Structure 1
Amino acid sequence: MTIALVFPGQGSQAVGMGVDLAGSFSVARETFEEVDESLKQNLFKLMSEGPIETLTLTENAQPAIMSVSLAIMRVLEREGGFEITDKALFVAGHSLGEYSALAAVGSFTLSEAAQLLKTRGKAMQEAVPVGEGGMAALLGANLDLAIKLSEAASEGEVCSPANDNADDQVVISGNASAIDRAVALAPEFGIKRAIPLTVSAPFHCAMMAPAAVAMQEALAKIDVAPPLVPLVANITAKPVQEPDIICRQLVQQVTGMVRWRESVLQMKEEGVDKLVEIGAGKVLGGLLRRIDKEMSAASISDPKGVEKFLLSL
């Protein structure tokens, strides 16, 4: 069994996430306290009690999702003796999950990852006035079809693939009016369903350019260490370990497409046969079943998942 660790992105947040981890493991509780201290915010209280509307705000959801992933990593390492350099061939993360992955392999400290994601969340929210951007999930569409639909719907506005999630699921992003046109045109392109998403901003498209500038400035202030295990980057779907390239790709990722399907297939080609999802929810495990049925998946989001995974090693 050759594994890669993968880290979820936005949309995995839920009120109550991390609570059972904090109740079962002191190291998890300390992780949440460290994030709270670095952000000067009681984020764990928000994660524990809600409201979900506040937790879902991008500037809160991003560091919150990362904190659960890193709490699980620390439990695996300190309670279970898990060593990432011995057990994992690669790490990868979906959008903000790249920051979780990089913290897990020592490129960022926990505090740096939390602060970067707070900055990223705020910058992405502020890049486009609320209501001017939109996103939609295309079910039954591959990337080629999504590109053709986006081109037909754009009419001079921004409309482009944001997440290539699986052979039959691509998310598009851009001006709200262009996304509306794409949803209306989808049946003409043989796309089974086009579902407008409830999002606060149009992520991973050209409209996020101001946020990319903000992240370039924020990353320039950090001394990024080479990852202990190669990262398969969203923007290229290729392994990377050089800190300067990682930073450049994190900036590009803000406006670029998340090549998740290609990333999974790249890891398989390099010898990975199992993806282990570290964090809230089971989104990435679900996508794997739509990308490659030969690879297996495990999801670790709570104490039971931790125990089951450690026993499987």
Structure 2
Amino acid sequence: MTKTAWVFPGQGSQAQGMGIDLLDIPSARDKFAQAESILGWSVTEICQSDAEQLSRTLYTQPSLYVVESILADILRERGQKPDLLAGHSLGEYIALYVAGVFEWAVGLHLVKRRAELMDSAAGGMMAALMNFDREQLEAVIAETPDVVLANDNSPAQVIISGTTEAVQTVMSQVKSKRAIPLKVSGAFHSPLVAAAATEFQEVLESVQFQPAIAPVLSNVEPTPSVDAEVLKQRLIKQMTGSVRWREISLELAANGIERVVEIGPGNVLTGLIKRTVPDIILENIRNAGELPV
């Protein structure tokens, strides 16, 4: 059997119309109805609304959790299962759900609260840098207060996060092919969201985690674990910690993974993995049409 990892994208991968074709599947319809009773709003309505509303953190994160978890559940119903799991930022919640660390509704309650807190954590900015000098970037970040490497996505793409002034300083001093400010409400994955992270920690600590049925690679510590307490502590650090996706990609190869399936809209993660470990087989399941029969 080909050793397979399932990976789940996070905020930024959302797309208008995502999940709508799942409404033809009875189990998916039930999950959408359940989600509406937990959230107080309809995921399918939001996914069909304008891009600006869908891209608001408050709606984006729960919508991605619901759509991606439904796709993963259908895959499991059809006899597939992963040997290893990982998710990018918000995607880690779907990875933990699929690993059996918490129940689906518990995960959605967590994501709902996380989205509310992150949506209200205004201030600062994030920016993506492509094809840059890594040594120069690390040196400039080390010399510039109030900015961090938020997402180390691949050898050629990172995201920095911090105060507006600090992020702009790094953008102006580091040579890169492209530097793009991101449309987000706050400086996520940085100490600037520490107040929201502290509030969310209380919520996380009240939830009982179970040992994982498949190892999970966490964003802040990209080594496989099935230990419930380890996975919880890593998740507690996630909101202010860096997303170490480049290292996760390398860890997939180190753990003998031959095939990676990205479950969710877009193909951001398969693109990043391809740049880091080009020899792995990459597949995407973005919608109902791409599910195996």
Same fold (TM over 0.5): yes
What is the aligned partner in structure 2 of residue 223 from structure 1?
Answer: 208
Tell whether the 8 Å contact from 1:174 to 1:207 is kept in structure 2 after alignment: yes
Poorly superposed stretches of 4+, deviation over 6 Å:
none
- How far did residue 193 of structure 1 move? 2.1
Equivalent pairs counted in the alignment come to: 292
Mapped to 2, the partners of 1:55 and 1:178 lie a distance apart of 28
CA contact (8 A) 1:146 1:170 kept: no
Contact 2:137 2:174 in 1 (8 A): no
* Residues 222-270 of structure 1, C-alpha deviations (whole Å, 9 max, x = no match): 1111111010111011111111221111111111110101011112111
Quote the residue 2:114 is aligned against.
120
Determine which structure has the larger helix proportion and give its number.
Answer: 1
State which of 211, 234, 238 in structure 1 corresponds to 2:219.
234
Q: Give the aligned partner of residue 34 of structure 2.
A: 34
Residue of structure 1 equivalent to 2:63:
64
- The one-letter code of the counterpart of 2:79 is G
Instruction: List aligned pairs for 1:26-105, cutoff 5 A.
Output: 26-47=26-47, 49-78=48-77, 80-82=78-80, 84=81, 88-105=82-99
Q: 2:220, 2:278 → 1: CA distance?
A: 24
Structure 1: which 5+ runs fail to align?
Answer: none
The verdict on how the C-alpha distance between 1:144 and 1:103 changes in structure 2, with shifts beyond 3 A counting, is farther
SS in 2 for 1:139: strand
Give yes or no for contact 2:92–2:218 (8 Å, CA) kept in 1.
yes
SS in 2 for 1:224: coil
Task: Indicate the residue corresponding to 1:148 in structure 2.
Answer: 139
Distance 1:147 1:34 in 2: 45
Aligned mate of 2:128, from 111, 114, 137: 137
C-alpha spacing 1:228/1:143, structure 2 compared with 1 (3 Å): farther
Question: By how many angstroms is 1:143 displaced?
Answer: 4.9
Find the aligned partners of 1:32 and 1:211 in 2 and give their Cα distance.
Answer: 28
- Measured in 1, the distance between the counterparts of 2:201 and 2:133 equals 31
Q: TM-score, normalised by structure 1?
A: 0.89
List gaps (5 residues or longer) in structure 2. Answer: none
Corresponding position of 2:228: 243
Given the superposition, is the C-alpha separation of residues 145 and 266 from structure 1 closer, same or farther in structure 2, using an over 3 Å criterion? farther
Q: Does 1:201 align with 2:195?
A: no
C-alpha deviation, 1:81, in angstroms? 2.4
Identity %: 35
SS of structure 1 residue aligned to 2:239: helix
What SS is found at the alignment partner of 1:290?
helix
Distance 1:270 1:39 in 2: 37
The CA RMSD measured in Å over matched residues stands at: 1.5
CA distance in 1, matches of 2:97, 2:79: 18
The answer as to whether partners of 2:216 and 2:224 remain within 8 angstroms in 1 is yes
CA–CA separation in structure 1 for the residues paired with 2:182 and 2:217: 27
Q: State the partner residue of 1:266.
A: 251
2:147 aligns with 159
SS in 2 for 1:195: strand
Give the SS at the match of 1:140.
strand
Query: Kindly tell me: are residues 142 and 248 of structure 1, through their superposed partners in 2, closer, same or farther at Cα, counting changes over 3 Å?
Result: farther
Question: Take 1:115 and 1:95, find their aligned partners in 2: how far apart are those partners?
Answer: 16
Describe the SS at the equivalent of 1:76: helix
Range 34-43 or range 3-12, more displaced: 34-43
Shift of 1:54: 1.7
Q: 1:304 to 1:215 in 2, by over 3 A?
A: same
Instruction: Specify the SS of the correspondent of 1:6.
Output: strand
Distance across 2 between alignment mates of 1:280 and 1:300: 8
AA partner of residue 141 (structure 2): S
Matched with 1:176 is 164
Q: What is the Cα deviation at residue 197 of structure 1?
A: 1.4
1:110 aligns with 2:104: yes
Q: Which TM-score applies when normalising by structure 2?
A: 0.95
Cα deviation, residue 41, structure 1: 2.0
Tell me, yes or no, if the aligned pair for 2:137 and 2:170 is still in contact at 8 Å: no
Q: Secondary structure at the match of 2:128?
A: strand
Query: What SS is found at the alignment partner of 1:106?
Result: coil
